[in-house]
Amino acid sequence: MPFVLSAKSCVELIGQIAQVIVDFLEVAVSCVVFLKGFYPPRAFERRRYMNVVVQKAVHPQLASYIHSATSGLLPFIQKGLVDRVVVIFYDKAHVAVEKFVFKLTVNQSYGSKIEEANLEFALRAFLIKLTVSEPLTRPLSSDGSWEITAYFRSLPPDGEKEAQLWIPTDTKMWMQPPQITPIKSMSCDPVKMQLYLEQPSPTEPKDPPTEP
């Protein structure tokens, strides 16, 4: 007999899915930072996650930043507000030179149950692809920087405590449309996710525009 989840059950389901996504993002961001060689290898440790060997940040400040940024997205992913989670690498002038983009959609009205194992199986493929993605990337200067940026479909209410953890970004925009390299995509209802690399176009001006 067909059935529909109650509103409460649907909320609980989305909450469980959001937690899986947040946990995945924490590990995936750590893998991206390790891939770029921004820190010494000793800042990371080999761990097994979703039955895949990954590089997990263990340096206290690095691990804390990644954890707080990704876990802080939980209430917004639950509400379907998060469009993209982006790991941005900058040069010394704080101009973006590379972006790892996790584009995310969670169907808020999904009315069926989902096996968590199926979702984890789909997400596992992203981690496997990340481990072999270094040839797609560009060298990063030692005097650069990086950050985690979230793009929202709509702005969270100012009164929400969680919203106060996020501040507007001052990232300088590229003048030309970026060069996009797909890495992995998946659709496992109610979750759709794409991972792709954004890099400046070959025609992008080398120097950022100056203020008039």
Query: In this predicted structure, what is the pLDDT of residue 194?
Result: 97
Residue 205, domain member (yes or no): no
Residue 42, domain member (yes or no): yes
pLDDT digits (tens, 9 = 90+) for 151-206: 998 876 655 665 555 656 666 678 888 999 999 999 987 889 999 999 998 888 87
Residue 139, domain member (yes or no): yes
Residue 209, domain member (yes or no): no
Q: Measured between alpha carbons, how far is residue 51 from residues 47, 123, 125, 209 in Å?
A: 9, 11, 11, 46
Distance from C-alpha of 21 to C-alpha of 73, rounded to nearest angstrom: 10
Residue 30, domain member (yes or no): yes
Query: In this predicted structure, what is the pLDDT of residue 6?
Result: 46
Residue 187, domain member (yes or no): yes
Give the side-chain half-sphere CA count within 13 A for 155: 7
Q: Whole-prediction pTM value?
A: 0.85
Residue 208, domain member (yes or no): no
Tell whether the torsion through CA atoms of 14, 29, 121 and 188 is positive or negative. Answer: positive
Distance from C-alpha of 22 to C-alpha of 73, rounded to nearest angstrom: 7
Structure-token match 């590379």, residue found: 98
- Expressed as residue numbers, the domain containing 6 is 2-199
Q: How many domains does the chain have?
A: 1
In this model, does residue 123 exceed pLDDT 70?
yes
> Which residues are CB-neighbours of 118 under 8 A, at least 6 positions away?
188
Q: What share of the chain is helix, strand, coil (3-state, %, to 5)?
A: 35, 30, 35
pLDDT digits (tens, 9 = 90+) for 71-102: 999 999 998 899 999 999 998 888 899 999 99
pLDDT digits (tens, 9 = 90+) for 136-150: 998 888 888 999 999
Q: CATH number of the domain that 85 lies in?
A: 3.30.900.10
